[in-house]
Structure formats: structure tokens, C-alpha cells
Amino acid sequence: MQIVNVQEAKSQLSRLLSRAHCGEEIVIAKAGKPYAKLVPLAPLAERKPGLAKGAVGDAFFEPLPEAELEAWEK
């Protein structure tokens, strides 16, 4: 794990982000004290189409009752 001061992090942010993306953890120090850490994000879960199939019934597409429509228009 490398420690980098704020000034260096400002001038080399793009390079530091690339290194963090590759798995390296980088600590950013302010006045010589650890302040923040750049770490890689866990991969996002793959989205699968149709996952919520059947979750929305036909009633969802029915018009709203008049009383509810009037409440939204106020």
C-alpha cells in the first residue's frame, strides 16, 4: 500500500485511479497523516433481463381513481 500526499494525488489522480482499478490500495495523506484510501470497487452484479417478470400485474396499467388523480393535481 502506497501513501501519497494530497498535492501529489491532485496532480496524478488519473494515474492513481488506474492503479486502484488494477487492485492496488492507495492511502492519501494530509499533513503526513492518513486521510483517505483509494480502493478498487467490487465488480457490479450482472443485470439479467426479465428478472422482475410477473412482479407488475395488470392492475398497474389501470387508470387511477378520480380521487387519487385530484390529489396529485393539487
The reported pLDDT for the residue numbered 37 is 96
The reported pLDDT for the residue numbered 24 is 93
Task: Tell me the domains of the chain and their CATH numbers.
Answer: 1-41 (3.40.1620.10)
Work out the average pLDDT over 35-50: 86
- Average pLDDT of the chain is 90
Instruction: For the chain, give the percent of residues with pLDDT over 70.
Output: 99
Segments in 1-74 forming alpha helices (H): 6-11, 13-21, 66-73
Q: State the sign of the Cα–Cα–Cα–Cα dihedral 48, 52, 54, 59.
A: negative
